[in-house]
């Protein structure tokens, strides 16, 4: 009888404290790595927690083990703390959000760096002389329109432009033609006649003339 009374008394306290702290049997079981049925058996007095479980319960409820075992009607007031299950869920959510934010930040930095490096690379290539361009592995750079322009003579035909594009990076004929159109729209080229182009040479005042100028490509042999 004494053992049964002890079980009922402990089970009643476990259930009362659980309800006061707004914890369900399932949440309490998850925190203790047990099943909800085990918690239910404690509360109805058909089983009693082990010493380890009593210690864990005392930490969850904010009471001592003696408070759970002693036959006292008054119990300590519940602490204003979130239930253990909610605390764990909140922590996992915070960790997940932090990891997601970090991943998005890293991705944005990588994409930005990639775009910036590509633009800087193409801008630098546009000023490279022919001897430097020919020394680069063709798989390491993209031939932009201004680079193609720097490799062409002052007057040239379509076949010459296509041949230079293919020789440097196997650029397709269609891509070369699109480059020539873009250079014409940018007023860097003009058509002298069908299939023939001339570079537009600008003077210091910003005006252009069509007079011949000396090749700008340095001599690679000396």
Domain spans of the chain, in order of start = 2-78, 82-125, 130-209
List pLDDT tens digits, range 168-205. 767 788 888 988 998 898 888 898 888 899 998 776 66
| pLDDT for the residue 151 | 85
Q: Residue range 8-27: average pLDDT? A: 90
User: Which tokens sit at 127?
Assistant: 């000023």
Q: Is the pLDDT of residue 93 over 70?
A: yes
Q: Residue range 46-69: average pLDDT? A: 89
The answer to whether domain 2-78 has CATH 1.10.150.120 is: no
| pLDDT for the residue 209 | 54
CB atoms closer than 10 angstroms to residue 165: 23
Q: How confident is the model at residue 211 (pLDDT cuts 50, 70, 90)?
A: very low
Q: Higher model confidence: residue 65 or residue 171? A: 65
Give percent above pLDDT 70 in the chain: 67
Q: How far is CA 54 from CA 10, 80, 81, in A?
A: 10, 21, 19
| Phi and psi based region of residue 121 (left: phi greater than 0; alpha: psi -120 to 50; beta: remaining) | alpha
Distance CA 182, CA 175 (A): 11
| pLDDT for the residue 108 | 84
List pLDDT tens digits, range 105-124. 888 888 777 766 555 555 55
Distance CA 165, CA 160 (A): 9
Q: Which helix (H) or strand (E) holds 191?
A: strand 189-193
Q: Is the pLDDT of residue 156 over 60?
A: yes
63-67, 110-114, 204-208: which range is least confident on average?
A: 204-208
As a whole number, the mean pLDDT across the chain is 75
| pLDDT for the residue 215 | 39
Q: How confident is the model at residue 103 (pLDDT cuts 50, 70, 90)?
A: confident
The answer to whether domain 130-209 has CATH 1.10.10.10 is: yes
Q: Is the pLDDT of residue 213 over 50?
A: no
Distance CA 20, CA 142 (A): 70
Q: Is the pLDDT of residue 61 over 60?
A: yes
Interstrand relation of 155-157 and 189-193 (parallel, antiparallel or unpaired): unpaired
Q: Higher model confidence: residue 209 or residue 38? A: 38
């Amino acid at each position: 009888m004494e053992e049964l009374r002890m079980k009922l008394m402990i089970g009643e306290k476990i259930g009362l404290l659980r309800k006061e702290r707004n914890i369900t049997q399932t949440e309490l079981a998850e925190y203790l790595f047990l099943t909800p049925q085990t918690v239910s058996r404690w509360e109805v007095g058909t089983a009693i927690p082990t010493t380890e479980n009593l210690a864990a319960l005392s930490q969850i409820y904010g009471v001592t083990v003696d408070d759970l075992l002693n036959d006292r009607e008054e119990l300590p007031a519940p602490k204003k703390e979130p239930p253990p299950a909610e605390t764990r869920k909140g922590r996992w959510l915070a960790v997940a959000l932090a990891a997601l934010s970090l991943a998005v930040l890293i991705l944005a930095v990588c994409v930005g760096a990639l775009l910036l490096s590509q633009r800087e690379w193409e801008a630098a290539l546009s000023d490279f002389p022919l001897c430097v361009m020919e020394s680069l592995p063709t798989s390491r750079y993209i031939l932009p329109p201004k680079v193609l322009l720097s490799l062409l003579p002052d007057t040239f035909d379509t076949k010459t432009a296509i041949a230079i594009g293919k020789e440097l990076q196997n650029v397709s004929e269609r891509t070369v033609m699109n480059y020539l159109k873009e250079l014409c729209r940018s007023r860097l080229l003009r058509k002298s006649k069908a299939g023939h182009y001339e570079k537009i040479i600008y003077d210091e005042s910003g005006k252009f003339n069509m007079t011949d100028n000396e090749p700008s490509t340095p001599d690679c042999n000396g």
